[in-house]
Every structure is written in structure tokens, then in C-alpha cells.
Amino acid sequence: MTTLATATLDPTDITSPAFRADPFPTFKRWRDERPVVPVKTMVGRAWLLTRYDDVEQGLKDERLVKNKANTATPDKPHRGAPLPGFVKAIQTNLLDTDAPDHTRLRSLIHQAFLPRLMAQMQTRVHELAHQLIDKAEQKGEMDLVRDFAVEIPLVVICDMLGVPEKDRDKFHHWSKTMTNIGKPIEAIMAMPSMYSMVGYLRKLFRHYRENPGDNLATMLVKAESENSSLSEDELVGMAGILLSAGHETTSGLIANGTLALLNNPDQLERLKTEPALMKSAVEELVRFAPPVLIATPRYAREDYEVSGTKISRGDSVFAMIGSANHDERKFEQADQLILDRASNKHVGFGQGIHYCVGAPLARLEASTSFQVLFERLPNLRLAVKPEELRWTAGLVPRGLQAMPIKF
């Protein structure tokens, strides 16, 4: 049995753009030869779970917690570094908390994303997609990432929260710096963005406390004042996670998904001629071209064993979503894009209590985007050679830096 202290670290840099361009052969090697891989990451040394069963179980496992302080025992207290107030506020969010705080925060927000409410947003997303394509046609060129895939989720989440149009670009900049973090230096470089975003959100909430509107920010400040169910930091943490988690991820699905369809012209042709395929196509694109490659870190609350490897209390563990979704032990022809794949139990939106709260919105945005994009631009193709495409660095989301297209 191996422990992290004695394990030989794998040298792969899982945050590098080169690895993220095509991580799937490495994932396969790991699944076959060493399914629980020790690597060095920005949270220190960590274990990577690579097989579907281990990932699915790991995402649900109560022995793995999200808040490292919850790994403490009376004889081994947790000694976290002192954090400035704005970092603490941003970290007071769903993805960094465990029950019971997580349960309380989640119950406040989940009704904002009910499929019934999402369906009402269909028209807005549809109009927005058409406007973006009108603009691209006038310019005669388009970077699918910047001019389309990023814009749709950015506008939608800013509108939902009540962020005015003039401030949207700031949010894009802040959330981009805060989500594409793979190295400690990048975490330090993200501090000014974090600081500005927290200051902005505090002002936004102050504004809606005095001038209530029909938006999520108003709903959250009401929850704060009516039943004291949210602290000021929790308000900020909630808005911060919705803005960042709801934005880089969906843009990744739209751009990675379009690229996957261009690389599989037979499947793209089927989608154009059989629109009823869209629902299963979106699920297959989340599986095949995962916009979230790696789940956020978890920490072992006790010693336990996974696939013959001993994980010790306090160790960091990453569930490799992109590897699980290509595991041939779970999916037939796992490396093929099959838009009408039957029984597609992918883990692209996570699993367990942290399952993506925004999944209904992401599905709506992606299906509407693909529908409008291929209807309006039937001759859409890459304007650069595939090998010229560059992927972003980072740990969690997987996306393209740019995707110039011709149409």
C-alpha cells in the first residue's frame, strides 16, 4: 500500500495548456496502470482519482470534505494561513463549505435555477445569440470564444444577479483571472481581481438593500435581513461563485462543443438534420469535451483506501472528471462522440451534494447557442489550423483561449 509521503510523484503538469490540449491519452495510461496518481499541485501534493467508479464515489464520499478545517482533530488542529477579509468572503461559498453550512446555502439558491424558471429565460438567450451573430456578420469575422461563447453566460448571469451592463466586462476580467488558476503565483496575481470583485459586490448589495429590484441580488439581501440566514460574507461568496462558476464553464461547453462537432462532421450533420437530438447531444458534449476537467479540491477527513492506495487524513484529493467521462470501463467507445448515446451517466456536472446547481441553466444556454449558431452559420469552420488553437492554463475549467472561425 502506498501513502502520499512515500509515493513517487508523477511529473505531469496537469495545469499546463499542453496537457489540457489533449489529456485523454495520459488519463487512459493512468486508469490502466496507476488509477490513484500522486502529483504536485498548487494545494501541495495531492492524489488524482482517475477511474469512473472512484471519481463518482469520491465526489459523494463524506470522508472527503471541502473545507480543510474540517479535517482537524483535537490532537491535530488545522493551522490555516491567516487570510485577508476579502479572500475569506470569496471562500465563504457553496464549493468551499460542508454540511450544515452547505445545506443552508444550497437551499437558498437552488430554487433560482429550477428548470421551470430556466425555461422562461429561453427567449432572452435566443435573442442574445442572434444579436451576437448579427454583430459578427457585420464585422465579417468572429472569435467564437470572445464574441459568442463568453458573452452568452456572462450577460445571462449578470442580468440574473442585477449587475448593470456597463460593469459586465469588469466581471469577465475578474472571473477569468480568478478561475484560470493553476499555480500559487497565479493565485497571488488573482488577488487584485478578488479584492475589486468583493468591493464591487458589497456595493451592489448595499444598492439593492435600499432599492430592491427583480433579481437574485435582491432575493439574497432579503434572505439576509428577513431571517438572518445569510451573513454579509456569505452574500458575497454566493454571488462570487455564481459569477465565476456560471461563466467560464458554460463558455467552455459552447466553444469546446463546437470544436468537437467540427472535428466530427458526421455527428454535426446529424444534429443539423435532427434537432430532436439536441438534448442528448448537449449531455454527450459535456462528457466528451468536458468544460470542467477536474473537480475542485477535497480533503480526507480520515485515513481510507481507494483502488489499493491509502489516502491519509488531511491529504488533498482531486476527482478527474475528464478521465472518468472517458473511462472505457463505464462507457462503450468512450473516445467517440456519439450524440445519441444511450445511458450517458457522465459526471461532467459533478455528483453528490455539490452537484452543479446551475446545470439547468448551462443546458439551456448551450442548447440554444448550438441551435442558433448552426442555423445562422451553416458553413461555420475554423479560420486557423487546428494545431494553432491554444488552451487555457489552470486546474478546474478547460477551455480555448480563442477560436477564430470563418462562416
Residues that bind ligand HEM (CB under 6 A): 59, 94-95, 106, 153, 157, 241-242, 245-246, 249-250, 253, 286, 291-292, 295-296, 321, 348-350, 354, 356-358, 361-362
Rank residues 129 and 362 by Cβ distance to ligand HEM and give the closer one.
Answer: 362
Closest distance to ligand HEM from the beta carbon of 400 (Å): 14
Rank residues 149 and 268 by Cβ distance to ligand HEM and give the closer one.
Answer: 149
Rank residues 190 and 239 by Cβ distance to ligand HEM and give the closer one.
Answer: 239
Closest distance to ligand HEM from the beta carbon of 17 (Å): 19
Alpha-carbon span 217 to 229, nearest angstrom: 14
Of 296, 236, 243, 244, the closest CA to residue 89 belongs to 236
Alpha-carbon span 56 to 71, nearest angstrom: 21
Distance of CA 154 to the CA centre of its chain: 14
The CB density around residue 221, as the number of other CB atoms within 10 Å, is: 21
Closest distance to ligand HEM from the beta carbon of 301 (Å): 16
Closest distance to ligand HEM from the beta carbon of 245 (Å): 4
Rank residues 29 and 88 by Cβ distance to ligand HEM and give the closer one.
Answer: 88
Rank residues 69 and 384 by Cβ distance to ligand HEM and give the closer one.
Answer: 69
Rank residues 2 and 215 by Cβ distance to ligand HEM and give the closer one.
Answer: 215
Question: Are 91 and 66 in contact, with CB atoms under 8 Å apart?
Answer: no
Closest distance to ligand HEM from the beta carbon of 74 (Å): 28
- Give the nearest residue (CB) to ligand HEM: 358
Widest distance between CA atoms in the chain = 66
**How much of the chain is helix, strand and coil, in % rounded to 5?**
55, 10, 35
Burial class (CB in 10 A: 0-12, 13-18, 19+), 158: buried
Closest distance to ligand HEM from the beta carbon of 78 (Å): 20
Question: Are 147 and 132 in contact, with CB atoms under 8 Å apart?
Answer: yes
